[in-house]
Amino acid sequence: MVTSNPTQGGAVAAREVNDFDRRDFDWYVDKAVEAVVFVCGVSAIVFVLGIFVFVTKEGIGFIIEHLNFREFFLTPYWSPSDADDPEYGILALIAGTASVTGLAMLVAIPFSLGAAIYIAEFASGKTREALKVLVELLAAIPSVVWGFIGLVIMNPLIIKWFDVPVGLCVLNAGIILGLMAAPIMTSIAEDALKAVPDRYREAAEAMGATRWQVTYKVVLPAAKNGLLGGVLLGVGRGFGETMAVLMATGHAVNIPDSIFDSVRALTATIAAELGETVVGGEHYQVLFTIGILLFLVTFTVNLTADLIVRGIRKG
């Protein structure tokens, strides 16, 4: 536009350039805001790095000086407050976290996928809206309330129904964690189903397929990656849950033989013991080392989920 008419004099062209390349007050404000906005955008990355750096900084002393991989990961003896010979084996804690998360996912995955399919594909109009709101509200219940429910409602029920001495066990925490993770997984799965274009459904219905055939043959295969990503995010949430697990597992260091055994989770151990440690002491550093482990595992799970979900967008 500037050089649209080469026969005109250079002065005219120069003035037009100035009209567009202005350096007035608004221009500087615009540039300043752009910088501020960029810094805020980058802050998310800074915070994640910050979490890794600061948690590592507090735990690194133990990792460098005392960490014996075999003893740390493969022995189930956890007695950090033993003054003479403290032992830091997290195998039992890993078993606790794994058993509770595993049971929770066994409960939550089929039910939340079923619920997501019902809400996205079968329910209609007002029912769908009401169910979506309800699921969203259930997802908002704080974890400490779930722990309280495990402690005062599930505990006596399990003792009564299964005739066991203690109701704070893998079963209790697994159900609580399952109920807790299910609404989150339901809404992510429902989003994944909704992301499948309607014309896929219409094409299949035009061929005479029933709703279930459309869902099973068309929608589910198309939403496969999104659903898998949602399940993974749910696993990450369950794995990292703290308060509910602290209150409902019974908090006993133990490799469980049955679902009625009390266990103790990695997250709950940090929450329960950090308050009684000396800043910079060995026990304190070990708890931060567990924190690093938790961070790395959830980071990997989230990254994998992201890669899987992105897979569909590219393909």
Partner 1 sequence: MTTANAVLFQATGLNQRNERVQRLYRLLFGLMTLMLIAPVLLILGTLVVKGGGVISWEFLFTAPTDGMRSGGVLPALLGTVWLVTVALLLSVPIGVFAAIYLSEYAGDNWFTRAINLAIINLAGVPSIVHALFGLGAFVIFFGFGTSILAASLTLAVMTMPVVIVATRESLQAVPQAFREACWNMGATRWQTIRKVVLPNSITGILTGVILEVSRTAGETAPIMFTGAVFFTPFLPQSVMDQTMALSLHLFVAATQVPGIADEIPFGIALVLIALVLLMNSASIAFRMWLRGKKKW
Q: Are 297 and 239 in contact (CB under 8 A)?
A: yes
| Binding flag, residue 294, partner 1 (CB under 8 A) | yes
| Binding flag, residue 115, partner 1 (CB under 8 A) | yes
The one-letter code for the residue type at 120 is A
Q: Are 155 and 172 in contact (CB under 8 A)?
A: yes
Mark the segment that binds partner 1 (CB under 8 A) among 4-12, 74-82, 149-157, 253-261.
149-157
Q: Are 124 and 182 in contact (CB under 8 A)?
A: no
| Contact mark string toward partner 1, 176..205, x via CB under 8 A | ---x--xx--x-------------------
Burial class of residue 309, CB neighbours in 10 A (0-12, 13-18, 19+)? buried
| Binding flag, residue 299, partner 1 (CB under 8 A) | yes
Q: Which residue, among 56, 61, 52, has the nearest Cα to 281 in the 3D structure?
A: 61
Phi, psi dihedrals of residue 78, rounded to the nearest 5°:
-120, 100
Subset of residues 231 to 260 that bind partner 1, contact rule: CB under 8 A: 233, 236-237, 239-243, 247
Distance from C-alpha of 195 to C-alpha of 189, rounded to nearest angstrom: 10
Beta carbon of residue 202, minimum distance to partner 1 (angstroms, whole number): 13
How many residues contact partner 1, by CB under 8 A?
A: 89
Distance from C-alpha of 19 to C-alpha of 243, rounded to nearest angstrom: 61
Sign of CA dihedral 249, 254, 257, 261: negative
| Binding flag, residue 162, partner 1 (CB under 8 A) | no
Beta carbon of residue 79, minimum distance to partner 1 (angstroms, whole number): 21
Beta carbon of residue 169, minimum distance to partner 1 (angstroms, whole number): 16
DSSP strand E in the chain: where? 78-79, 87-88
User: Which is closer to partner 1, CB of 12 or CB of 152?
Assistant: 152
User: Which is closer to partner 1, CB of 77 or CB of 295?
Assistant: 295
Beta carbon of residue 84, minimum distance to partner 1 (angstroms, whole number): 27
Subset of residues 26 to 85 that bind partner 1, contact rule: CB under 8 A: 26-27, 29-30, 33-34, 36-38, 40-45, 47-48, 50-51, 54-55, 57-58
